[in-house]
Amino acid sequence: MPDLSVNIAGKRLLAPVLPASGTFEPLKLPFPSSRFKELGALVNKTITLRPRPGNPPPRVWETTAGLLNAVGIPSEGVEAFVKEILPQLREKTDCLIVSIAAFSLEDFCALAERIACTGLADMLELNLSCPNIERHTSWSSDQALLAEVVRAVKAEIKLPLLVKLSPNVTDLATLAQVAEESGADGLSLVNTFKGLAIDLRAKRPALGNITGGLSGPAIKPLALYAVWEAYKRVRIPIIGMGGICCWQDALEFILAGATAVAVGMYNFVDPEIMWKIIAGLKNYLSENKYDAISKLIGLAHRNLS
């Protein structure tokens, strides 16, 4: 039987497939906990320190090959999350990654410490693609800000730290390297690409927030390129994401350098897709006589020489 397990920041994942934050809510699905434990990990919908309503509707808009969303990180706040949701998620998985976002350095540190002290999370994922309101920029588009927040959070907690970066930058590979040098234990690449749609009937932007983040098949080659370039610059593991719809997509990311993959938009199309991807990867390994998926990580780079 091929070994699908991978290691991320010292944690063994039984499979290299997990959901992207905000795209999969296991507490609302009628699956037994044993099914969720077949996935590499579970990831919550990103939370913030205090409750947030999110953006005004409309929040989603279908495109030709994907989905624009401007949900705006609505959140119940960390206290409600810790009390009502976190314990239930913990019961359903052997690896729980908690995704957090904040709009100030102090809030990031307070939020990270609050989650860490529960003892229920295996890793934290810093969603650094949200705007930093205080300085009117994004944490993940400015090297100094990126280094500052990663170092600050890393100093507060002992949990492994994943850093989720935005692709809406000039040089993502350099930012990935900055995150690693600042203490990140892994990277999540990539978040959505900024986009716009016009409602022809209303003759105005279709989303309540005007712009949104594009996900789905349209961004896969762009996300794959981001993983490819980052893999050449960092040594920490990468969770690749962006337009993954089948096992072949997942395998491309792994060959490009991803240790694991996260499925996003396609969970809305097919709630069973992650298990189908795991089955497809397992069959591929058997048919091609590989005994472990880990042997394929970054293989496309080595095959160039």
The parts of the chain modelled with pLDDT lower than 50 are 132-133
Residue 287 resides in a domain = yes
pLDDT number for residue 8:
98
Number of domains observed in the structure of the chain: 1
**What's the confidence (pLDDT) of residue 138?**
77
Question: What is the pLDDT at residue 133?
Answer: 47
* φ and ψ at residue 196, rounded to 5 degrees: -145, 145
* Structural domain includes residue 1: no
Concatenate the DSSP letters of all residues of 146-204 into one string: HHHHHHHHHHH--S-EEEE--S-SS-HHHHHHHHHHTT-SEEEE--PEEEE-EETTTTE
According to DSSP, the β-strands at 123-127 and 161-164 are parallel
Domain holding 139: CATH number? 3.20.20.70
Are β-strands 204-205 and 198-199 bridged in parallel, bridged antiparallel, or unpaired?
A: antiparallel
Are 157 and 177 in contact, with CB atoms under 8 Å apart?
Answer: no
As a dihedral over the C-alpha atoms of residue 230, residue 129, residue 160, residue 255, rounded to 10 degrees, the angle is: -30
Q: Is residue 187 part of a domain?
A: yes
Rounded CA separation 128/218 (Å): 22
* Cis, bond preceding 82 (omega within 30 deg of 0): no
Written as one letter, the residue type at 98 is V
pTM (global) more than 0.95? yes
Strand partners, 137: 132
The whole-angstrom separation of Cα 103 and Cα 132 is 5
Catalytic residues: 130
Classified as helix, coil or strand, 54 is coil
Instruction: Report in angstroms the alpha-carbon separations of 74 from 52, 101, 181, 265.
Output: 5, 11, 31, 18
* Neighbouring residues of 47: CB distance < 8 A, sequence distance ≥ 6: 75, 76, 77, 78, 81, 98, 99, 100, 101, 111
pLDDT score of 146: 96
Question: Residue 127: is it exposed, middle or buried by C-beta count within 10 angstroms (0-12/13-18/19+)?
Answer: buried
Residue 111 belongs to domain spanning: 6-302
User: For the chain, how long is the longest CA-to-CA vector?
Assistant: 56
* pLDDT tens for each residue of 220-272: 999 999 999 999 999 999 999 999 999 999 999 999 999 999 999 999 999 99
Is the Cα torsion angle 11, 14, 20, 24 positive or negative in sign?
Answer: negative
State the pLDDT at residue 305: 72
Q: Are 272 and 246 in contact (CB under 8 A)?
A: no
Q: Transcribe 115-140 into DSSP letters.
A: HHTTT--SEEEEETTSEETTTTEEGG
Interatomic CA distance for residues 215 and 200, integer angstroms: 21
Contacts of 86 (CB under 8 A, 6+ apart): 44, 98, 115, 118, 120, 121
Distance CA(143)–CA(20), nearest Å, equals: 24
The C-alpha torsion from 129 through 130 and 131 to 134, rounded to 10°, is: -120
Q: Give the residues across from 187 on adjacent strands.
A: 163, 238
